[in-house]
Amino acid sequence: LLGLVIVAGEQSKGAQRWFKIGGFQFQPSELVKILMILFLAYYFMRYEEKINSPRVLFGSFVLIGIPLALILAQPNLSTTIVLALVFAAMLFAAGLSYKIVVGVLAVCVPTFFIVLTLIIQDKFPFIHSYQLGRIMGWLYPDKYPDIAYQQQNSIMAIGSGLLWGKGLGNTDPTSVKNGKFILEPQNDFIFAVAGEEMGFVGTVTIIILLLFITIECIFIARKAKDAAGRLICCGMAALIGFQSIVNICVATGLLPNTGVTLPFVSYGLTSLWSLYIGIGLVLNVGLQPKKY
């Protein structure tokens, strides 16, 4: 499906990520998030005793690299990053050695800052011009107002909601939703609409609810009867947690602008459908606890 959508999918705003089926659009990369969690849970359970062996680790990187490369080719960098983080979390939950974790962090942290420096200097060859523009607009919003306007409007909208907000579904023509000051307010920047209409109380409530869902997934993982159930729950916790963090950080200007939905809040049939499938799997694991 990921290969087919690149060839025969629907194009929108420079990306080719959807199939149009009747009056609906279907996004394969959203379903892949759940399928990837199931596949990795099976793979890591099968090689649970050999998880730190080079062959198993290399195999997992190759197997996960194929769908990630296809998603990146759409292009869909945000989903690629979220899935890479989910993979890392599941690998850690599968029993990866702390020595390997520390070694990887020792390499990745300085590499991140080196790559960021090269990107700012426009010397990094593996980045598109629009991606560079988003990073520069995030770092220097005053110099790139045409690129940074969405995030700046989002920040102002969240701040304008004050404590209780302007009212859910208000008709104020100057609001970000009604005045169309932000593109895609129904999904990528839904948190800005929530901040403006429901204020600080509403946004904190959303964050707490998402946090509770993530924590509940972890609690169910602790009681799972086998490694596969534990990893499915950990994968869903990582998916909901990381995706929520990325969306909220983009809306508040803590990360460069990138398109990723806010779980259970943003508009998007495939996204919501896939998340409910994932939660259904977690609940199924919870119905089969350890017998000791």
Model confidence pLDDT, tens digit, residues 26-81: 888 889 999 999 999 999 999 988 888 889 999 999 999 999 999 988 888 888 99
The verdict on residue 122 lying in a domain is: no
49 assigned to some structural domain: yes
Maximal C-alpha separation, the chain: 61
pLDDT of residue 289: 72
Domain contains 149: yes
**64 within a domain of the structure (yes/no):** yes
Distance between CA atoms of residues 189 and 158, nearest Å: 11
Q: Is residue 14 part of a domain?
A: no
pTM, two decimals, is: 0.90
What percent of the chain has a predicted confidence (pLDDT) above 90? 42
Q: How confident is the model at residue 100 (pLDDT cuts 50, 70, 90)?
A: confident
What backbone phi and psi angles, to 5 degrees, belong to 12?
-155, 120
- Please, which pLDDT band fits residue 292 given cuts at 50, 70 and 90? low
User: How many other β-carbons are positioned within 10 Å of the β-carbon of residue 43?
Assistant: 20
C-alpha distance from residue 45 to each of 90, 94, 158 (Å): 11, 8, 43
Summarize the confidence of residues 166-177 as an average pLDDT.
78
Distance CA 233, CA 282 (A): 5
pLDDT in tens, 279-289: 999 999 999 87
Q: How far is CA 280 from CA 33, 43, 219, in A?
A: 14, 21, 15
> What pLDDT score was predicted for residue 291?
59
CB-count exposure of residue 120 (10 Å: 0-12, 13-18, 19+): middle
CA torsion angle 69 72 78 79 (round to 10): -50
Q: Do the bridges between strand 10-12 and strand 24-26 make them parallel or antiparallel, or are there none, so unpaired?
A: unpaired
Tens digit of pLDDT for each residue in 204-232?
A: 999 999 999 999 999 999 999 889 999 99
Q: Do you find a cis peptide bond into 75, omega within 30 degrees of 0?
A: yes
Q: Which helix (H) or strand (E) holds 152?
A: helix 145-160
Render 81-125 in DSSP notation, one character per residue: HHHHHHHHHHHHHTT--HHHHHHHHHHHHHHHHHHHHHHHTT--T
Q: Which residue has the tokens 């602790």?
A: 222
The boundaries of the domain holding residue 58 are 30-96+128-286
User: Which of 30, 35, 27 minimizes the C-alpha distance to 5?
Assistant: 27
Residue 4: inside a domain, yes or no? no
Number of domains observed in the structure of the chain: 1
Contact at 8 Å (CB) between 19 and 26?
yes
| Distance of alpha carbon 153 from alpha carbon 76, whole angstroms | 24
pLDDT averaged over every residue in the chain: 87
**Which comes out higher in pLDDT, residue 162 or 216?**
216
Encode pLDDT of 236-273 as tens digits: 999 999 999 999 999 998 988 887 899 999 988 888 99
| Number of other CB atoms surrounding residue 210 within 10 Å | 21
Q: Is the pLDDT of residue 85 over 90?
A: yes
- Domain annotation covers residue 21: no
Total number of residues shown for the chain: 292
The one-letter code for the residue type at 185 is: P
* Domain assignment of residue 181, yes or no: yes
